[in-house]
Amino acid sequence: MNLEPNRGALPRKLRVGVSIYVRKGEQSVWENGIYQNCIFLVMLLMRSPLVEATCLVAGGGDGRPEDAKNFLADSPVPLIDMDTAATTLDVMIEMSAQLSHEWVVAFRERGGKIVSMRVGNDYVIDIERMIFDKPHGLLVSAAPYHEVWTLPEYENTCVPYYTSTSRCPVRVVPHLWSPLMLGREATRLPEGLSFGYRPGRRRWRAGIFEPNICMVKTSFIPLLSCEAAHRANPDLLEHVWAYNTLHLKEHVNFNGFARSLDIVKHGLSSFEGRFPFCRIVAEQVDAVVSHHWENAQNYVYYEALYGGYPLIHNSHLIGDCGYRYHDFDCEEGGQALQRAFAEHDTCLDAYRRTANAFLRGLDPENEDNVRIYSDALAALYEQV
C-alpha cells in the first residue's frame, strides 16, 4: 500500500518533536497513559514518509534529558532539551508538557509549525479544577497553534471546546497503542508470575483500575456492577480489588457508599493504592471491570484485551471486544460480568482473535494510522 500523502508545500522531510514532561527524581512511564502515548506517537512518526527525524523534547518539569535515562529507557528516539528543539525542529507537537506562550510565538516566527495534541478530557478536567479550586493543568494560554489534534473519544465533549479556546482548526486522529512496552514489562515480572488470563478458576477475582482523580473514570459503577453480580450469584466473586482508591477510604461519603455494599459487608472487597497493571493482574486479578464517562479509549482496556482477560466495559469505541454494558447501567454491568463468567473460558480462543484483530488497528506502525498522521503533518503546510 502507498503511504505517501499529499506533500503539499513541504520544502523537505521534516524534523518533528513531541514534548514530554520530565522531572528530577524517580519517574515511571506507567504513571499515566500520556507518557506511553508520547512514545507510541514517535514510533509512528519514525514510519512517516514525510519525517526525516523525530525526538522527544523534555519540558514542563524541572528535569533535564539526563534525568530521564531510566524513565525513557524503552524510547526508540533521543530526548533533547527545549533550547535545542527551538533551533533544530520543523514541527513541535505539544503533548505531555505544555509549551510556554513565549516559546510557541518564537518558534512560529522562525517558521516552525505548532500542534497541540490533546489526549485527556480537558473540558471536564478544566471545569473541575476551576470549580473545585484544584491545581491547574493545561492552561488556555492563547498560544498560536496551527492545529489541535485530539482523539475520537473527545469528539462529543472537547472538539468544540478546543475550537473555541484555541481559535484554530481541530483534527481528530486515531488513538495509538502497541504491546511493545507491556511485553517488555511482562518479562520483568518476578519468577512464578506471568501476564495473561488463566482459565479454570472456580471463582473470579475482579480488578477495578479507574484512577478516581476526575469524574470521567471512577470506581463507582464498577463497584456497583460487582455488587449486582454478587447479589445475583454469591458464588461468582472471590474478591473485588478496587485500586487507586486508597485516598478515598477515609472520605465520609465514599466510606458510607462502600459500607452499604454487600461485597464490603461480606468481606470480599479491598481498597488499594496504585500499582502497575501488568504486575497486579498477573498476581491478583482474573477479570477487569471498568467504567468511563466520555473517555471511551483507555490503555487499560487494550492491556486487558491483549492479555485475554475478560473486560467488562461500557465503551463504544472498542468494537466487539469484551463484555459490554451501556452508559451508567450498573445492573447491566452486573449481567455482563455474569455472562463473562459463564462464557469466557469456553470462548477464550474467539475472544483473543477478536481482541487481536482490534488491537492491530491501533498499532503505531499500522499503515492506515501512518497515513492519517502524515496527512495531518502535510496539512500544516497547506494552511494560508
Q: What are the residue ranges spanned by the domains of the chain?
A: 14-178+363-380, 180-360
pLDDT, residue 67, reads 77
In CATH, the number for domain 180-360 is 3.40.50.2000
Which H or E run includes 88? helix 82-88
What pLDDT is recorded for position 5? 43
CB within 8 A of 211, min separation 6: which ones?
217, 244, 274
The CATH fold assigned to 14-178+363-380 is Rossmann fold (3.40.50)
Tens of pLDDT along the chain (384 residues) come to 344 444 456 768 999 999 998 888 788 877 778 899 999 999 999 999 999 999 999 987 777 787 787 788 878 999 999 999 999 999 999 998 889 999 999 999 999 999 999 999 999 999 998 898 777 766 677 889 999 999 999 999 999 999 999 999 999 999 999 999 999 999 999 999 999 999 999 999 999 999 999 999 999 999 999 999 999 999 999 999 999 999 998 899 999 999 999 999 999 999 999 999 999 999 999 999 999 999 999 999 999 999 999 999 999 999 999 999 999 999 999 999 999 999 999 999 999 999 999 999 999 999 999 999 999 999 999 875
3-state DSSP: the chain helix, strand, coil percent, rounded to 5? Answer: 40, 15, 45
Q: Which helix (H) or strand (E) holds 41?
A: helix 33-45
- Residue 94, amino acid: E
pTM beyond 0.85: the answer is yes
pLDDT score of 1: 37
Q: Which three cell numbers stand for residue 143?
A: 498560544
Main-chain dihedrals φ then ψ at residue 32, nearest 5 degrees = -155, 165
- For residue 103, give the nearest of 114, 118, 117, 88 by alpha carbon: 114
What number of residues does the chain have?
Answer: 384
CA distance 86 to 104: 9
Task: Tell me if domain 14-178+363-380 and domain 180-360 are identical in fold.
Answer: yes
Q: Measured between alpha carbons, how far is 265 from 259 in angstroms, rounded to an integer?
A: 7
Phi, psi of 120, deg, nearest 5: -130, 165
